Structures are given as C-alpha cells and as structure tokens.
Amino acid sequence: MTYDVIVVGAGASGAIVAARAAADGLSVLLIEAGAATDISGREYWDPTLWAELPGDPAIAWGYQSVPQPNLDGRVIPMSRAKALGGCTLHNAMVYVRGAHADYDAWAALGCTGWGWNDVLPYFERQEAMFGILTAPGNAFIGSLFRAAADQGIPFNPDYNGDGGQFGAANFRFTIDTVTGSRQTSYSVYLGAGSTRVQTVAGLVVSILFEGTTAIGVSVIPTGGTVPVAYHGGTIVVSAGAIGSPHILLLSGIGAAAQLEQVGIPVLVDQPEVGQHLHDDLFGTVAYTSPGPLPPQPYGLLGAVIFASTTGNESALDFESSLSSGAMAGMPPPYRPDSYWIWPNFLHHIPSGHGRDDVPLHRHVPHGLRRGGRRRSGAARQRRAQPARDRRLHRAAPHYRQYGGGVVHDRRKGGRSPSRLLSTS
Ligand SMILES: Cc1cc2nc3c(=O)[nH]c(=O)nc-3n(C[C@H](O)[C@H](O)[C@H](O)COP(=O)(O)OP(=O)(O)OC[C@H]3O[C@@H](n4cnc5c(N)ncnc54)[C@H](O)[C@@H]3O)c2cc1C
C-alpha cells in the first residue's frame, strides 16, 4: 500500500505532523521505534515522577557522548525517549514558546515563515489542543520572586505573553488542567485514534530513493529482523535531533568521505548532516532550606527566572528553575529540606549527568552550552549497521570554557544564584 505521507517518529513533532496531515484528509503511516512499549504505568503520567523517566531503560535509546576531554573525560548521558510521544513522554513538561527575538532573527537570516508573527498562530492552536497549566505559587516561590525583584528582575505574569520572557515567573506546564496528568504530543493529538493514521512499531533503517526522490522507507518491525518497505508520496523524517540525521546518514546523505569510511554508499554528499549539534549547559546548585519545602505537585517547583548574564534584556541567556531535593529520581543527597537550582540550563538529566554526587552548596556544571554561533558536537555514524551506534562523536568541544567539570564553590566569589534565593 502507498500512503500519502509517511512520518518517521511519533515524538513531539511527528505525532502532530501525522495528526495534521490526517486532518487534511491524507492517509498517513506513522512509524515509531518504541510504539510497542507499554507506557500505561503511572510513572509515565504522574508529573511528580518525571525525574525518574530519563533514566528508565524501558523507553531509553541509551545515547551517550564519547568521553569529553574538557570534562575530565566524563561520558555524558544524552537521554532520548523511544516511545509513542517521544521525548514528550519523559521531559519536564515545561511549556515555553521561546523568545520573540530568536524567531525574528531566524526569519531575518532567511527562514521565511519563522518570524514571531508567523509562528504565533501555531502556538495558539497547539495551546488550544493541550491546555496549559500554570503552576500555582507558594511561600517558597514568593520568596524567590522577592529575591529576584531585589536583584532587578521583576515578576513576569506570563513569560509566553506579549511582554516577553524576561523576569521571574510561575512555570507553565503541558499538564492536563483537569486530570493533572502528563500530556504527550501523541496522547493529545492521536490518543483518541484516527482512521487516517496507521501507527506501526518498527525501526526505520533507511529512506528509499528513486534517483534523488524519496519514495519510501525501509523498516525493521519490532520483534522482527527482516526489513519491510513502505512507500509514500511524502516522507517526513521527524526522528529527533539525533535520530533524524542518523537516518539520513544511513540513507547515504552526509559527508561522502565519512560515509565511505563506514561502507555506506553515498547518495548526496552533504557534510552538514549530523553537524552543529547544540545542547544546553545547565548546572545543579544544591542548597539546604532554612525550613521545610512546600509540596511539589509537579516535577519542578513551579518557578523560573529568565534573565541575562550580560544585562541585555533582548539577549536572554539565563534560565533558572528549582526542584526539591526530596524528589524521586534526583541525585543524592535526597533531603526534604534541600533544593536544587538549575541555572543557565535548559536541559536536565537527573542522573547527575555523569556525576552521582551533588554536594550541597556547590555548583556542578553539566551538559552543553546552547545558542550563540558556536559550533558544537556532531552525531556521526561509526558503523554501517543501523542503530548500533549509541555514542556520539565529540559532543561538546567548547566545554573547556566552563572549567572542565570542576566543582565550584560559590563562596569563592562570583555572582551567585544564592543572591537570588535568600529565603530569610
Ligand atoms: C530529559 C529531557 C527533559 C526535557 N524537558 C523539556 C521541557 O520541560 N520542556 C520542553 O519544551 N522540552 C523539553 N525537552 C526537549 C523536548 O522534549 C524535545 O525538544 C522534543 O521532544 C523534540 O521533539 P522531536 O519530535 O524532535 O523528537 P522526539 O520527541 O525525541 O521524537 C522522536 C521520535 O522518533 C523516534 N525515532 C527515532 N529514530 C527512529 C527510527 N530510526 N525509527 C523509528 N522511530 C524513530 C523516537 O523513538 C521518538 O519517539 C526535554 C528533553 C529531555 C531529553
């Protein structure tokens, strides 16, 4: 059978693309490597348990970086979910539209249709589907807001609104406002089923071409070994920041020299495929609280600060959020009176990101710096076989500017987030 559209990956983007194509009357084949995994357990849907999910082997691709010379040789876990919903099944559910200026900058660089006013209607449509929950405040969050105001960072009633992101705000989550459950792109857009979308469990190992026109995909069905071919008029590769370039490389689209090295016939010599992987630097800063912390009904404590380390409000580069140290899945010490701050982070991996010890009152840098014009890591195929390569090549050459994973003591000076977080 030939489909109008074949969508690879049922994650944040793929599930929505499939649903929108079906709503336009098209026949859709949606192929997801983790579609057969049972995700009915409470842990997947109860937001308070989210921190355990990125380490859950049942839904993990198991990617990790190669040892990072600038992080003291640490290997950085790079969690990606293999399941219906993709990473929306294990992410922190934080809903952030993003900075208006970033979209407009992309449009100015030539990405027609990506300006803020172009994308806004899509956000509004998506929010009507999800329903976005605003985390309620509490005394602890109130003290954070007062401390932020003391530092010149005002309260922002809606960081997604017309006033922009700058400020301290209550988090918004993609949590069902009625049931309190996690929502994934798949559960929201396709959970009720669609007669026009056929979902198949299997690993896409390559795109099939006629000349240089994509006409289908080759899939190893889950539990099987023999590839099956599916044909479609349009092929959408939405397998994530690692999965998508991986499939292109396996299909012969990438740097010719590197493909030849691993025995993949070259279809298109395109050296940019798999390059310029950007991820986020974040740090865990652990503190004890002078008093008991309020209950944490959602994964994170419900407050966030968007600010700028340069003082330039139009160039926000600092996001800081809070979590209770008592939360399941967090690195030790688990203490009901400890709390974690994640400054300048946009990407959290609760395993401790290669460190299992997060001492209180210390800064522990993790992850990768995002944004800017820096070229960062690369996802490269190291063998001709599909899906065997779980280690990424050189994920972060610029780690060096963050001190090589050294644990910094905030008392040695420097602008410390503790100034924002005095609860006294
Ligand atoms: C731990 C963590 C926390 C996060 N927290 C937040 C947050 O709070 N807020 C936020 O906005 N973002 C968050 N993110 C980021 C966000 O979840 C991702 O940006 C988003 O899910 C990316 O969407 P995607 O469609 O590109 O990829 P994904 O959602 O990863 O979907 C890709 C899908 O493709 C499938 N796939 C891959 N390869 C193949 C193949 N060969 N064959 C078949 N299927 C394949 C995968 O199994 C997956 O289901 C977080 C991410 C992580 C890892």
Q: What Å distances lie between residue 300 and 60, 175, 333, 352, 385, CA to CA?
A: 21, 12, 17, 16, 39
Distance CA 400, CA 407 (A): 14
User: Per-residue pLDDT tens for 163-213?
Assistant: 888 888 998 999 999 999 999 999 999 999 999 999 999 999 999 999 999
Taking the model in full, what pTM does it have? 0.83
List of domains in the chain: 133-179+278-420 (3.30.410)
- Atom of ligand 1 lying closest to residue 349 CA: 1
Residue 256 φ then ψ, to 5°: -55, -45
Cα(89) to centroid(ligand 1), Å: 8
Q: Are 250 and 49 in contact (CB under 8 A)?
A: no
Q: Which two tokens stand for residue 354?
A: 């290669």
Q: Does residue 329 line the site of ligand 1, with CB under 6 A?
A: no
Of 12, 7, 182, nearest to 81 by C-alpha is 12
Distance CA 167, CA 148 (A): 8
pLDDT at 65 over 90: no
Rounded mean pLDDT of 333-356?
A: 49
Cα(240) to centroid(ligand 1), Å: 6
Burial of 169-186, coded b for 16+ CB within 10 Å and e otherwise, reads bbbbbbbbeeeeebbbbb
Burial of 34-51, coded b for 16+ CB within 10 Å and e otherwise, reads bbebebeeebbbebbbbb
Residue 223: what pLDDT? 97
Q: Which residue of 87, 242, 390 sits with most ligand 1 atoms within 8 Å of its CB, as the best mutation to test the pocket?
A: 87
Cα(2) to centroid(ligand 1), Å: 27
Cα(290) to centroid(ligand 1), Å: 37
* Res. 311 pLDDT band, cuts 50 70 90: low
Q: Does residue 31 line the site of ligand 1, with CB under 6 A?
A: yes
User: Per-residue pLDDT tens for 105-138?
Assistant: 899 999 999 999 999 999 999 999 998 999 888 8
Place of tokens 């008991």: 292
